[in-house]
Amino acid sequence: MSIAENLEEVLNELPEGVRLVAISKFHTNEAIKEAYHAGQRVFGESKVQEMTAKYESLPKDIEWHFIGHLQTNKIKYIVPYVSLIHGIDSYKLLVEVNKQAAKAGRIVNCLLQLHIAEEETKFGFSFDECREILTAGKWRELHNIQLCGLMGMATNTDDNEQIEKEFCSLSNFFKEVKDMWFADIEAFHELSMGMSHDYRQAIAAGSTLIRVGSKIFGNRVY
């Protein structure tokens, strides 16, 4: 099947209120253009240099989401154009995004990344760490970032029960955070979870953003 056909297949499964981030990392501009011409406008990248090169050479109405582990010294390169940073995994990172966004005269949308998997290689706050940061309240002084929700990655496993358990734990935590700290903040509404192999479970658990790459573009080109 073509990229356009794969894209249509995924989009047809999405209920109202769920958006697709097409993960285009390691794929060519031509592959992205095929998805773009089929109507896709939201793309996700995990390398700053690669995303910036694509931003500069592809249509300007593309909404670029950064989904990788972001280093503080690279933030300044994506802040002028990024639509959403999915992986804020430390308060220090949030402060630096705010600083660079102020320099660029922008308010940058961010998601807090939670560690829900049983894999040490995954990044993110624990639920308790996230609660501590939100309770401390210093984030309220960061006027050039907008916290829009949470993000998490389930364990890479064939155990569907474990995947569902992890997604449900994040979904329940999202509701807690929304009620406790963001009840009156309309922008805090995104729950980014689910990839090519588990997005159906993520949608069932309440995801609003699924991050699908290989199911659309095929295997990555390294």
Q: Where are the domains of the chain?
A: 3-217
pLDDT at 60: 96
Distance from C-alpha of 2 to C-alpha of 11, rounded to nearest angstrom? 14
Mean pLDDT per block of 10 residues along the chain (222 residues) reads 95 96 96 97 97 97 96 96 96 97 98 89 88 97 98 93 96 98 97 96 97 90 50
Q: For residues 192 and 87, give the distance between their C-alpha atoms in angstroms, rounded to a whole number.
A: 10
At residue 219, the pLDDT reads 78
9 near 219, Cβ under 8 Å?
no
The CA distance from 159 to 6, in Å, is 25
pLDDT for residue 119:
72
Q: Which residues pair with 212 in a beta bridge?
A: 22
198-202 CB contacts, 8 Å cutoff, 24+ apart: 198/154, 198/163, 198/167, 199/10, 200/13, 201/154, 201/160, 201/163, 201/164, 201/167, 202/154, 202/167
CA atoms within 13 A on the CB side of 44: 23
Q: Give the burial class of 80: count Cβ atoms within 10 A of its Cβ; 0-12 exposed, 13-18 middle, 19 or more buried.
A: middle
- What pLDDT is recorded for position 221? 53
Q: What angle do CA 36, 39, 42 make, to 5 degrees?
A: 65
Residues 34, 2 contacting (CB under 8 angstroms) = yes
List, for residues 91-139, the tens digit of each pLDDT value: 999 999 999 999 999 999 999 999 999 877 668 999 999 999 999 999 9
Note the pTM of the prediction, 2 decimals.
0.95
Is the CATH number of domain 3-217 3.20.20.10?
yes
pLDDT at 62: 98
